[in-house]
Structure formats: structure tokens, C-alpha cells
Amino acid sequence: MFNSELMKKLSDCFGPSGREKYIRELIIDEIKDYVDEISTDPLGNLIARKKGSGKKIMFSAHMDQIGLIVTHVDEKGFLRFTNVGGLKAKNLLGLHMVFANGLEGVICQEELKDKEKLTMGKLFLDVGVTDKEFVKQNFRVGDMCVFKSQYYETEDCVICKAADDRVGCYILIEALKNHPNTDNDVYYVFSVQEEVGCRGAKTAGYSINPDLAIAVDVTATGDTPDEIIMEVKLDGGAAIKIKDNSLIVHPEVKDMLTYLSEKNNIKYQYEILEFGGTDAGPIHLSREGVPSGVISIPTRNLHTSGEIFSKKDVEECIKLVRAAAGH
Amino acid sequence: MLKDFLFDICSSQFVSGFEHVNSHILPKYFKPYTDSFEKDKLGSYIFKASGTSETNIMLAAHIDEIGLMVTEILEGGFLSFTSVGGINPASLVAQEVTVFGKEKIFGVIGIKPPHITDAEERKKPLKLKDLYIDTGYPREDLVKMVKVGDIATIKREPLSLQGSRISAKALDDRAGVAVMLETAKELKKISHKSNVFFTATAQEETGTRGAKTSSYKINPHIGIVLEVGFGMTPDMTDLPQLGKGPIVAFGGRLNAKLTKKFVEVCKKYNYPLQYEAVPGRTGTDAEALQITREGIPCILLSIPLRYMHTSVETIDLKDVENAGKAIARFINELDNSDLEEILCF
């Protein structure tokens, strides 16, 4: 049964990279009654543990989202900004943004002859306030904002912002609530700053020093009217990663996830992503190396205010995380 | 012997991330000259020649090679693929390939006939997604043998050219691995004090990954990184020449005093040497070693090589022999020097 209420809360919570306070508090509230230990590391990663005496397994889903950061508040009361994470100027025009304090703005552009030459520097935020003093008081350099968009759900899919990677957080939370009966020492990590270079996972991987690591994150699909050649599709099941730019999945981990899927009747598909990376990138290079893999959620329209994923795929991912935690 | 070793490892596949597949080959050659063998968790091979002192010296050359990976199984027996490591798509045209599926499958990569390629198309650079492996099997048979994520390499047997020149795929960086074997042989003849770790690193081509984890594990005092460098061809005349010795690199990522010491040793014992300046990134395992743990002082030595990242990479065996001997001599000299003084800034 899909927990729409939880997914909506996770998607709507403010938490761009480096500003994960609210989303961390939300997740702590959600899981604190189910874990043996819970802690926040110096970078802000939330590390929840289900103790055991066996193999040390680390799961990681990042709780930060992409956003914008204010670089300048001008005399007229407009805000200039740059991106936090992978956002391009041409995809931002007209979007509605919201700040941590609840104030909002819309992205406008300077008059341009050649629309192709649009850069971040030609865009500004109009916060809809004519009182310049109010703008000065309420917006400062370094303030961050994120997409504002309405959560929407159909019978099959969810359309929402920050599915990357709040749907991964959702999967870990649901798996954690139904943690399998096992000797394994399992760490559920909700990492920070993935969108700016998987920074949280780097330090969490070092401190936990696991025997096996599995990131849970979204991936692109090849089922839309465009040119990406990819076998991954919505409703194709949990995607077991084989390779992306940050990682070649350890063959034994790939085989293990495949075996677990087949044994437990979990629908799965193989994924090769020809760009991007996940938390498993830095984790697998931590210390002497960590055999690592990724369970991916096929997601369309990535890094936009309306990311789309299938509720059935999410269920399959939860099953696979639970199977891996107990294996 | 050196040539046999190179021919053997160049005709076996060690694609990045799949270095474990032919894991019997390297131990066979290194074990006679070393005392223990282990692997790091990414699949790097570490052979240790024990000494009598506390000093640990790490030699690193990557065993992995660039390759292809199946992304889609298409109607008519075609396979779409991506690259593992950097490949110029033009170098794949009209090649035979081996796909490592459930069993070995042979295929070819073709291209549109020139007759029907219009002027506009000719100007465009080829992209990987324009190319396919043609296996000849019907799709229903092919899906039983090949899965998404299986790897493929160009099928190319090593070739002896005139004199001491050879041509093969994956001499980047099997030439470096061969240097390590030459050094191991030389060191076996003398009683060295340092512990020497011959490390055939994994996944260099995808971001010097094996060097990161293996150097963390070994935690050496110094690193000697063996690579291949661009060799002179008629269209690039100002580059180091084949057969005139290995290339020692100077640059910010490398330890200046250690490099100077190496050059002095080569001069003293008349080992031929060529030079290159690499002010910034070297794009080699030295990059990873330099910032492992508290930092590892490194030197970088490259074998001149033509046609890098194609299936006809060409080197001169003399350069490999000379590099191997020079490094053994260098280790011997370091054993008899005050390493702390050399490494002190």
C-alpha cells in the first residue's frame, strides 16, 4: 500500500544541499521509534542503525534536493542567484520558487535578443514585493530556495518535485519500518549534499566502513519521446545498476541483487546510466574499497519541478532493499 | 620472455570493473619473484616482495583496459553499446569484437557505405550510439546468451613489428605492468631492504579508482607510478620517441625531490630517459596516490606509446626493459639513502 501522505510530506519539505535541517528533522520524527541508534554526523548525514553482530551493510539515500542560492540583492529589490546542483538556465524560466521562511518568488529574465544565449546571469527572481526595505530585511546573500509545485498522484504514478531523492528516502523509511529479522548490522543513511558531488556519502562511508553498500536513488529512463538509449522504463520494476559515471557495480553485488530479485519474485531491470552518479560512487572508494551497488527508481523528467515515478516500482524497490538487508 | 608475458596479458581481457575474470594470469608470472599476494576490494592485484626494513614502496600500473558494454539487444542480432573508459568511436569502425556473454560471441562493427553517406553526414563526427555490434544471431537466440551490462572488447591479436617494436590492444597500461615484472625480476637478484608492493591497479580508465583503494590499503612511504605516454608520430613530431627510454614527468602533482633523485640514478647508471612537463593533472594513478591518507610522494614514469586507446597501440620493448631495470636500481639506491631527507621539503 503506497503511503501517499509520507511521500507528499517528504517531497514538500524544504532541504536543498547544505540546508537539510528540516528534512532531517522530519525523517528523525518518522523513524525514531523503529531504530536502535540514531545520530547526525558532522556534515549533517542522518545515520540510523539496526544493530546486529553480522555483516555491516550500509544503505544510502540522499535527502538534499537541487535549488538556487541568492548571490546578490539589487537596489531595485530583485534577487540574482546561481544553482545548487544540476540546474540549467533554460529550464528555469517562469518557475515558482520558495524559500525556507516561506516567502516565494518567480524566475524572470532580462530582455534577450538571442534566446539561445540565456545564462544564469540573465535571470533574476521577482519576489512580488514593492517595498525595497522589506526585500533587504528578508532576503540575504546565501539564502536558498527550491521549486514550489503541487504534489499530484494518479493510480499508477506520482508527479512531484524532489522525487530525486525523497523517493529513495521514502523507500529506506518504509524498509526500516519493516526491517527483516536478521543478524546483519544495518545502517540506513539519509545523506546530505549529494547534488553537489556526493559529499555526505563520502564521510558517512568513511565513518561506517561497511562490508557492503547500496545506494537507493533515482535514475533516468529510455521510455519517453527523446533520444536517450536506455532499457530502463517506468513500471519495469526496481532497476539494478550496472554502471554509471561514478561506479561500475561490483559483479558480486549485481549478482546478489539479481539473485534476491529472482528468488523473491521482485520485478527488476538492469540499468546502465551513461551520465551522472550516486552516493555509491564515493562510498565504494572509501578506505580500502567497499563492494557497492545501487537500487534505482526509474524516474522521468529528472531535475525539474515535476519528476515522475511509478508507485509499483517503488514497492519493488522496498522489497529488494529488505531482501538485501536480510541477506 | 618479456614479449611472451605482454602477448599473454594483451590477448586476455581485463576491462575496467571486470579485472577478476582472468584472475589466474598475473599470479602465474609474479609469484616466482614475490612473497605474498592479495587483492584489494576493488580488484587490484597486490604482489609483495618483502624486504628487511620498515619502508614500503608501492609500484602502480593499471591492469584494466577500455572496453565496450552492451546497453540494448536489438532485433536482427544487433547490440547497442556504450564505452567503459574513453574511446574514439572512429577507432571502432570495421573492427571485429568479442562479446563476453554466457559464452564468447563474435561480432563486427560496421558503418554505412560511403555511397549513401551524404556530404553533411560525412562532416559530423561519429557517435557511439550510431554504431552497433552485428552478431548474426536472431534476437531470440541472442537474448539467451547476452545480457545488458555484458562487456565486449576489440578482437585483436598482438603483433610483432620490426626489431623490438610490438603492437597490441591494451598496451595502455600492460606495458606498465610489464615494467613491474621486469623490476621484480631485477630485485630478486639483489637483496633489497624496502618492502616493494607491485600493484596492478583496477579501474584506472574510469577514474583511477583502484589506485585510491589499493594505496589506502598499502599505505606506502612512496609511490612509483608506471604509465604510457604519447609517442612521436609523423603528425606529432615534438613528442618523446619510441626506443629512447621511458619518460619521466615533472609537475605539481609529483614529488620534485624524488623525481630529481630518480633522474640522478638514471644518469649515474646510464639508463636512457626522456622528459615531459605535466603542470597540472596527470590523468594517471599518481593523481590518486598523491592525496591518499596523509599524502604519498610519487614519481611518474611512462613508456612512449603510439595510437593510444586504439587496438594498435605500439611500443618498443627496449623502453620497458630499461624502465624496469632503472626502477630496481632506484629502489636499491633509496635503500642506501636517507629517505626522510629526500622527502623533506
* Radius of gyration of chain A, Cα coordinates, nearest whole angstrom: 20
Tell me, yes or no, whether A203 and A98 share the same domain: no
My answer on whether A46 and A81 are in the same domain is: no
Q: What is the pLDDT of residue A262?
A: 97
Q: Is any Cβ of chain A less than 8 angstroms from the Cβ of B16?
A: yes
DSSP strand pairing (B195-201 vs B56-62): parallel
B183, pLDDT greater than 90: yes
> Looking at A94, A117, A147, which one is the last position of a domain?
A147
Report mean pLDDT in 10-residue bins for chain A, 327 residues. 96 97 98 97 97 97 97 94 94 94 95 82 94 94 97 97 97 97 98 96 97 97 80 94 95 96 97 94 96 97 96 98 97
CA separation (Å) from A162 to A3, A109, A166, A167, B341? 17, 24, 6, 8, 54
Question: What pLDDT, in 10s, does the model give residues A82-123?
Answer: 999 999 998 899 999 999 999 999 999 998 877 778 899 999
> Crossing angle of helices A311-326/A163-177, nearest 10°?
50
| Residue B293: band (very low, low, confident or very high) from pLDDT cuts 50, 70, 90 | very high
In a domain, A232, yes or no: yes
Assess contact for B245 and B322: CB atoms under 8 A: yes
Shared domain check, A75 and A18: no
Contact B84 A243 (CB under 8 A): yes
Residues 6 or more apart whose CB falls under 8 angstroms from that of B224 comprise B57, B58, B59, B60, B298, B299, B301, B327, B330
Contacts of B13 in chain A (CB under 8 A): none
- Does residue A242 sit in helix, strand or coil? strand
B204: annotated active-site residue: yes
Residue A184, pLDDT score:
97
**Residue B173 φ then ψ, to 5°:** -130, 35
B14 CA to chain A: closest CA distance, Å?
Answer: 14
CA–CA separation, A267 vs A300, rounded Å?
A: 19
CA distance B250 to chain A (A): 27
- Mean pLDDT for the stretch of residues B160-186: 97
Could you tell me if A180 and A280 lie in one domain? Answer: yes
Domain termination residue (choose one: A119, A147, A175): A147
Q: Give the mean model confidence (pLDDT) for residues B116-123.
A: 86
* pLDDT of res. A122: 92
For residue A226, being part of any structural domain is answered with yes
Question: Would residue A214 count as lying in a domain?
Answer: yes
Candidate from A227, A246, A274 with C-beta closest to B82: A274
Question: A112 and A24 in one domain?
Answer: no
Tell me if residue A138 falls in helix, strand or coil: helix
Mean pLDDT, chain B, as a whole number?
A: 95
Strands B36-39 and A152-153: unpaired
> How many residues appear in chain A?
327
Residue A72 corresponds to which cell in the numbers above?
546578490
Pick the CATH number of B2-65+169-343 from 3.40.50.2000, 3.40.50.1970, 3.40.630.10, 3.40.50.1820: 3.40.630.10
Same domain, A13 and A134: no
Q: Check whether residue A169 and residue A117 sit in a common domain.
A: no
User: What CATH superfamily classification does B67-154 receive?
Assistant: Peptidase M42, domain 2 (2.40.30.40)
Q: What pLDDT is attached to residue B118?
A: 87
| pLDDT tens digits, one per residue of B187-216 | 999 889 999 999 999 999 999 999 999 999
d(CA A325, CA A58): 9
pLDDT at B102 over 80: yes
- Do A243 and B149 make contact, defined as CB atoms within 8 angstroms? yes
Are residues A60 and A80 part of one domain?
no
CB contact under 8 A, B17 and A251: yes
Tell me if A248 is assigned to some domain: yes
Does residue A152 belong to any structural domain of this protein?
no
Q: Which of B40, B82, B84 sits opposite A289 (nearest CB)?
A: B40
- Residues in A closer than 8 angstroms to B209, CB to CB, are 284-285
Residues spanned by the domain of A173: 4-65+161-326
pLDDT in tens, B330-345: 999 999 988 888 888 7
Choice among B19, B204, B205, B287 that is catalytic: B204
pLDDT at A227: 64
Tens digit of pLDDT for each residue in A52-68? 999 999 999 999 999 99
B274: Cβ–Cβ under 8 A, 6 or more apart, which residues?
B240, B241, B244, B245, B246, B247, B248, B304
- B277 has pLDDT over 80: yes
CATH number for the domain that contains residue A88: 2.40.30.40
**Pair (A239, A294) in one structural domain:** yes
Do A59 and A75 share a structural domain?
no
pLDDT 10s digits, B296-312 = 999 999 999 999 999 99
Residue A317 backbone phi and psi in degrees, to 5: -65, -40
Sign (positive or negative) of CA dihedral A145, A146, A147, A148: negative
Q: Is B215 exposed, middle or buried (0-12, 13-18, 19+ CB in 10 A)?
A: buried
Q: Chain A residue with minimal CA distance to B147?
A: A270
Q: B97: pLDDT confidence band, cut at 50, 70 and 90? A: very high
Using omega within 30 degrees of 0 as the cis cutoff, is the peptide bond preceding A165 cis? yes
CA distance A300 to chain B (A): 19
Contact B41 A288 (CB under 8 A): yes
CB contact under 8 A, B71 and A231: yes
Query: Tell me, what's the pLDDT at B239?
Result: 93
Q: Give B237-276 pLDDT, tens digit per residue.
A: 899 999 999 999 999 999 999 999 999 999 999 999 999 9
pLDDT at B324 over 70: yes
Residue A153 lies in a domain: no
- Burial tier of A138 (Cβ tally within 10 Å: 0-12, 13-18, 19+): middle
Q: Please check the confidence at residue B121 and state whether its pLDDT lies above 90.
A: no
ipTM of the complex: 0.85
Q: A113, A147, A181 — which closes off a domain?
A: A147
Q: Domains of chain B: which residue ranges?
A: 2-65+169-343, 67-154
Do B42 and A243 lie within an 8 Å CB cutoff? no
CATH number of the domain residue A179 falls in: 3.40.630.10
Taking residue B231's Cβ as centre, other Cβ atoms within 10 Å add up to: 26
Dist. CA A293–CA A277, nearest whole Å? 12
What's the CA gap between B332 and B188, in Å, rounded? Answer: 12
pTM of the full predicted structure?
0.91
Q: Which of A20, A174, A194, A271 is catalytic?
A: A194
Domain count, chain A: 2
